[in-house]
Amino acid sequence: MTQRVELATVMDRLAVDEVVTEYAVVVDDGDWEAYRRLFTPDGRADYRSAGGVEGDAGEIAAWLSRTMELFPMRQHLIVNRRVRFGLLEQDSGDTARVQADYVNPMRFAGQDGGSTEPDFVCGGRYDFGLLRTAEGWRVREVVVHEKWRRVPQRRQEPAVP
């Protein structure tokens, strides 16, 4: 591998990583226009394993917009990213597949302001298929594989005699 090819691969890895990070940030910030821009025109997302829906980026952005109103505090943490280039059909070096684990603590709307503990935490793995476009790397597909979820039990204060 030449230095030029190695540098191009590093640059692609950084660009792909940026898309995955941006995905988490725009969902956490509720920026649904930016969410749509992350996708190719035919891009799709599948949240069914997490109790959600599957559809094109516009449909999913609309669904997320409504659903995330329940959780004004949310913070995706996307880790353990495995990036592989050229795994989609008829590849010419312009596709990538990313598997990345996530942990997502969220707080339900209307909860008291005294506690900072999340009310709902889930985790799993994202499976991203990305495509290099004239505008840069974009999500062609993302599938959420939720592995677990937890709703912490509220602590009971001892009764005052």
Residues 6+ apart with CB under 8 A from 147: 123, 124, 125
Predicted confidence pLDDT, tens digits, the chain (161 residues): 577 667 888 999 999 999 999 999 999 999 999 999 999 999 999 999 999 999 999 999 999 999 999 888 899 999 999 999 985 555 667 999 999 999 999 988 875 555 566 688 999 999 999 999 999 999 999 999 999 999 866 555 555 65
List the structure tokens of 132.
């290099």
What the chain holds in terms of domains, given with CATH numbers, is 3-150 (3.10.450.50)
C-alpha pair distances (Å), 23 with each of 12, 75, 154, 156: 17, 12, 31, 37
Burial call 94-124: b when 16+ CB within 10 Å, e when fewer = ebbbbebbbebbbbeeeeeeeeeebbbebeb
